[in-house]
Amino acid sequence: MSRRDFVRLTGACAATLAAAGVAPAGGEAGDLDADRRGVLVDLTVCIGCRRCEWACRNENNPPAGELHECDDQSVFRSRRRPTSTQLTVVNRSPGPAGGRPVHVKTQCMHCEHPACASACLVGAMRKTPAGPVIYDASRCIGCRYCMVACPFQYASYEYDNALTPQVKKCQLCGNRTQRGELPACVAICPVEALTYGRRDDLLRIAHERLRSCPDQYIDHVYGEHEAGGTSWLYLSDRPFSELGFPTLGSSSPAALTEAIQHGIFKGFAAPVMLFGLLGAVGKLMHAPKESP
């Protein structure tokens, strides 16, 4: 091996070993801002008008069609999930005989400690201190681990985009809120079923409603603790399990995935990289010499 090759490999070795102890980016939520934002959804108020669906699509995937198209009630015949072109959807759960149905708005929950960001190997998913979980398409490698890790399964993928597919999810209208505007879905809601504000304030509002109207709600704020807490919070007059919400513990799934992920990277990355480097050195040393 020439001196130049040796110096090049030595430098690469140092850089490799220095990086080996570093876990992959994109996992931890870090220090969250005390003023971080979220949305409180009162399901006892929602009338299922689906204006939030139209506003979301108009903001993110125009054209959204005519607003009166939201009056089509046939979509409630089957349960829907967010798609790559419709980042939020409203589903209807029938009430008891003679009782009113419940309409449930569904979108990314913007977890306090998101499993999607923890699972992402390249930092394409990131929890911002202000509350939203945002997606950086320029970093994404298309592995879709974030979709597998999400305990709510609300992210979607552009499978029909062969060249530049992206993971699609609600990003809490960061472009609007940075201008001091409300998220599109919140702004259009005609009955104020959606309240945008500081997460702590929303929790105070929610618990005050539970105290003042105990006959109107079940005593549970969904999202306060589920999966470690979420930025979208819900009030309801019937158990959330009956409305399609997953039953989750109070710890984030990211706590387990990060422990496994960091352990693997810490324990195995350095030896693997070192053996790979030694293999490269051996290959160079035994490479046939070029004829003059």
Give the residue, 40 or 252, on which the prediction is more confident.
40
Q: What is the mean pLDDT of residues 203-224?
A: 98
Count up the domains in the chain and report the number.
1
> What pLDDT is attached to residue 33?
93
> What pLDDT is attached to residue 284?
62
Q: What is the mean pLDDT of residues 177-182?
A: 96
The structure tokens listed for 236 are 């309801």
What confidence category does residue 280 fall into, taking pLDDT thresholds of 50, 70 and 90? low
Domain contains 274:
no
Least confident of 101-115, 125-139, 259-273, 275-289: 259-273
Q: What is the pLDDT of residues 165-178, one digit of tens each?
A: 999 999 999 999 99
Q: What is the residue range of 81's domain? A: 37-254
Residue at token pair 């992210």: 155
> What pLDDT is attached to residue 5?
56
Mean model confidence pLDDT for the chain: 86
The answer to whether 36 touches 114, Cβ cutoff 8 Å, is no
Q: What is the pLDDT of residues 64-93, one digit of tens each?
A: 999 999 999 999 999 999 999 999 999 999
Give the residue, 271 or 11, on which the prediction is more confident.
271
Domain contains 278:
no
> What pLDDT is attached to residue 18?
43
> What pLDDT is attached to residue 65?
93
> What pLDDT is attached to residue 30?
54
Q: What is the pLDDT of residues 31-64, one digit of tens each?
A: 789 999 999 999 999 999 999 999 999 999 999 9
Pairing of strands 133-135, 125-127: antiparallel
Q: How far apart are the first and last CA of the chain?
A: 17
Domain contains 259:
no
Q: What is the mean pLDDT of residues 225-244?
A: 97
Rounded CA-CA distance 283/288 in Å is 10
Helices (H), 44-189: 51-60, 115-119, 145-149, 174-177, 184-188
Least confident of 228-232, 247-251, 279-283: 279-283
> What pLDDT is attached to residue 260?
58
CATH of the domain at 154: 3.30.70.20
> What pLDDT is attached to residue 273?
60
Domain contains 239:
yes
Percent of the chain with pLDDT over 90: 73
Q: What is the mean pLDDT of residues 253-262?
A: 66
Structural element, H or E, at residue 98:
none
Domain contains 87:
yes
Give the residue, 277 or 215, on which the prediction is more confident.
215
Residue 287 confidence (pLDDT) above 90: no
Rounded CA-CA distance 150/162 in Å is 24
Domain contains 6:
no
Residue 20 confidence (pLDDT) above 70: no
Domain contains 22:
no
pTM of the model: 0.80
Which neighbouring-strand residues pair with 40? 195, 233
Domain contains 287:
no
Residue 2 confidence (pLDDT) above 80: no
> What pLDDT is attached to residue 47?
97
Residue at token pair 């980042």: 87
